[in-house]
């Protein structure tokens, strides 16, 4: 039985930042034992989950994104915190956050508008920009009190430039599991 592909719109991270995060991840694996750590090539910042789609709908979205963002200005984001989603003692997701940036929120809102114009049904939960590092806690009770103490990014200026967005396809049984199928340059 084949699994229907799913898609999302996201910001890719530069290769140098992916390498930096992957190196820092090694220091996080011991104090934070999660079952599955994300492959470095899969690091990204999701703007909109699209779910399944037809090729025609994806192409229409790509055309809309290209037109909407072709004259946009690049902007920078800064890595700042570690966090979790799910139960505080047994979290589902371990993530790396970025500092609040109005340009990022505006970008996300514009992406949502374009997705809705081509009839994607999107989530309504609040936007919490993050880069997923790992999934499924496997240790004892999660050491929430040490989260920021163990943060390898806390006293460093780790930033990157956002110059494009992409449409990605998920390949559940591959690693890396995300394939960029379209890029909209600013």
Q: What is the tens place of the pLDDT at every residue in 149-179?
A: 888 887 778 999 999 999 999 998 899 999 9
Are 150 and 25 within 8 A, CB to CB? no
Tell whether the model's pLDDT for residue 78 goes beyond 90. Answer: yes
Let me know the angle formed at the C-alpha of 106 by 154 and 58, rounded to the nearest 5 degrees: 105
Residues pairing with 14 in the sheet: none
Please give the backbone phi and psi of residue 86, each rounded to the nearest 5 degrees, phi first: 105, -165
Return the CATH number at 157.
Answer: 3.90.1140.10
Is residue 38 in a domain? yes
Is residue 1 in a domain? no
Domain residues for the domain of 41 are 6-185
Q: Can you tell me the distance from the alpha carbon of 95 to that of 112, in angstroms, rounded to the nearest whole number?
A: 22
Nearest CA-CA partner of 109 in 95, 119, 124: 124
Please indicate whether residue 153 or residue 116 has the higher confidence score (pLDDT). 116
Is residue 118 in a domain? yes
Tell whether the model's pLDDT for residue 95 goes beyond 60. Answer: yes
pLDDT of 128 reads 95
Is residue 100 in a domain? yes
Q: State how many domains the chain has.
A: 1
Residues pairing with 51 in the sheet: 7
Is residue 32 in a domain? yes
Tell whether the model's pLDDT for residue 2 goes beyond 90. Answer: no
Tell whether the model's pLDDT for residue 1 goes beyond 60. Answer: no
Is residue 54 in a domain? yes
pTM exceeds cut of 0.85: yes
Is residue 137 in a domain? yes
Which are the contacts of 110, defined by CB distance < 8 A and separation ≥ 6?
68, 69
Tokens read off for 99:
């500092």
Is residue 13 in a domain? yes
- pLDDT-derived band at 148 (thresholds 50, 70, 90) equals confident
- pLDDT-derived band at 7 (thresholds 50, 70, 90) equals very high
Enzyme catalytic residues: 44, 130
- pLDDT-derived band at 97 (thresholds 50, 70, 90) equals very high
Provide the 3-class DSSP secondary structure of residue 156. Answer: coil
Q: Helices marked H in the chain — which ranges? A: 15-29, 55-69, 102-117
């Amino acid at each position: 039985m084949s699994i229907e592909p799913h898609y999302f719109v996201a910001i890719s991270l530069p290769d140098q930042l992916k390498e930096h995060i992957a190196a820092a991840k090694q220091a996080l694996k011991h104090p934070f034992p999660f079952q599955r750590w994300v492959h470095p090539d899969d690091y990204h910042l999701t703007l909109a989950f699209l779910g399944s789609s037809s090729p025609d709908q994806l192409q229409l979205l790509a055309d809309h994104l290209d037109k909407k963002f072709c004259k946009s200005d690049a902007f920078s984001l800064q890595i700042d915190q570690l966090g979790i989603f799910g139960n505080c003692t047994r979290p589902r997701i371990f993530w790396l956050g970025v500092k609040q940036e109005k340009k990022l929120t505006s970008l996300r809102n514009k992406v949502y508008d374009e997705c809705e114009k081509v009839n994607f049904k999107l989530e309504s939960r609040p936007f919490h920009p993050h880069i997923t590092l790992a999934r499924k806690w496997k240790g004892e009770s999660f050491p929430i009190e040490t989260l920021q103490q163990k943060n390898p990014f806390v006293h460093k200026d780790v930033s990157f430039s956002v110059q494009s967005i992409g449409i990605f396809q998920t390949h559940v049984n591959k690693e890396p599991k995300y394939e960029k199928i379209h890029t909209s340059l600013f």
